[in-house]
């Protein structure tokens, strides 16, 4: 077992790379590299890319994790009986390719060259009821897309939750934040996070949902802040993009969320202000109602997750 450091990127197929690049630009990403068959998009953080589209029939291709080191990548490859290969993508580095129990492609990367950090375009100074920090200056939020910072998590529907849970935990060192129960001792799925010891990490990096039918659920991208999320919401709405759910604040994970659909129906989320846990945070069990609950905001539509 290795302990992955984070999620790295998600992979999709689409018949029209121009359409995908236009949508992802409106969503808040920047092109990191493109050819006739493949599109790589990045965020403002130093990861070389966070979203990959391969030209083809529309669908979800898989996800990738970031290994802590090249040594860990080699350990994983040796344990799985696969090769460590050169990664022919922005940032280069090395890659190992696996298939999970449902056949999803799971890539693990290490040794990449980091990209230059992009400046945060919206960084408002806020006056709150108990803390007034902006004096003598008006606040003006510019229009335009949100600024995607990084990929935060991916949610996939799986055939057998316990089988998939064991596969991901035993290879990548993921641990449970919240397990979702349909009834006592009847688990539907779980929010899993990276184990970085005392370092605080996102409440979840991967969420496995045991629907009995494998498929893509959604991918979630962190944005700069709440004003950035709301500016992006307006921008996508004015562009005529399909809105799915939000704006609201989740109960489990606590993040402010806003869900949209790409041109082929894949759900992608903007989020900000999520929970951070470390190895001092014990696993929790939660009910299905808590999974879909919002602390504020609209109820989830029946199409969410499909």
- Report cis status (omega within 30 of 0) of the bond before 247: yes
Taking each helix axis from N to C end, the angle separating 70-80 and 161-172, rounded to the nearest 10 degrees, works out to: 130
pLDDT digits (tens, 9 = 90+) for 80-127: 999 999 999 999 999 999 999 999 999 999 999 999 999 999 989 999
pLDDT of 185 reads: 86
pLDDT of 193 reads: 98
pLDDT of 1 reads: 87
Helix, strand or coil for residue 221? strand
pLDDT of 226 reads: 97
Cα 36 from Cα 39, distance rounded (Å)? 8
Q: Can you read off the two tokens belonging to residue 90? A: 């922005």
pLDDT of 191 reads: 98
Q: Are 269 and 258 in contact (CB under 8 A)?
A: yes
Cα 108 from Cα 194, distance rounded (Å)? 14
Dihedral of CA 204/64/220/115: which sign? positive
Cα 245 from Cα 61, distance rounded (Å)? 24
Closest residue by Cα to residue 58 from 305, 269, 262, 302: 262
What does each of the 306 residues of the chain score in pLDDT, given as a tens digit?
899 999 999 999 999 999 999 999 999 999 999 999 999 999 999 999 999 999 999 999 999 999 999 999 999 999 999 999 999 999 999 999 999 999 999 999 999 999 999 999 998 999 999 999 999 999 999 999 999 999 999 999 999 999 999 999 999 999 999 999 999 889 999 999 999 999 999 999 999 999 999 999 999 999 999 999 999 999 999 999 999 999 999 999 999 999 999 999 999 999 999 999 999 999 999 999 999 999 999 999 999 988
Taking each helix axis from N to C end, the angle separating 226-238 and 17-27, rounded to the nearest 10 degrees, works out to: 140
pLDDT digits (tens, 9 = 90+) for 197-231: 999 999 999 999 999 999 999 999 999 999 999 99
pLDDT of 299 reads: 95
Q: Model-level pTM greater than 0.75?
A: yes
């Amino acid at each position: 077992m290795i302990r992955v450091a984070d999620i790295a990127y998600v992979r999709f197929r689409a018949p029209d790379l121009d359409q995908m690049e236009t949508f992802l630009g409106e969503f808040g990403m920047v092109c990191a590299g493109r050819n006739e068959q493949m599109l790589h998009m990045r965020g403002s953080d130093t990861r070389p890319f966070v979203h990959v589209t391969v030209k083809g029939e529309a669908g979800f291709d898989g996800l990738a994790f970031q290994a802590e080191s090249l040594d860990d990548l080699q350990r994983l490859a040796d344990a799985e009986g696969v090769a460590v290969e050169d990664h022919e993508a922005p940032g280069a580095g090395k890659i190992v390719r696996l298939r999970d129990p449902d056949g999803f492609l799971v890539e693990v990367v290490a040794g990449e060259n980091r990209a230059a950090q992009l400046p945060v375009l919206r960084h408002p100074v806020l006056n709150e009821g108990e803390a007034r920090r902006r004096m003598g200056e008006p606040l003006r939020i510019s229009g335009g897309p949100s600024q995607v910072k990084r990929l935060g998590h991916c949610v996939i529907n799986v055939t057998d939750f316990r089988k998939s849970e064991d596969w991901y935990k035993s290879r990548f060192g993921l641990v449970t934040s919240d397990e979702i129960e349909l009834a006592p001792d009847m688990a539907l799925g779980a929010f899993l996070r990276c184990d970085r010891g005392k370092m605080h990490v996102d409440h979840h990096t991967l969420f496995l949902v045991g629907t009995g039918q494998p498929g893509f659920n959604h991918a979630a991208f962190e944005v700069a802040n709440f004003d950035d999320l709301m500016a992006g919401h307006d921008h996508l709405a004015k562009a005529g993009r399909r809105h799915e759910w939000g704006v609201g604040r989740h109960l489990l994970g606590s993040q402010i969320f806003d869900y949209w659909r790409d041109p082929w129906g894949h759900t992608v989320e903007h989020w900000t202000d999520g929970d951070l846990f470390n190895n001092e945070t014990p696993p929790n069990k939660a009910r299905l109602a808590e999974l879909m609950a919002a602390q504020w905001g609209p109820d989830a539509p029946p199409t969410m997750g499909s």
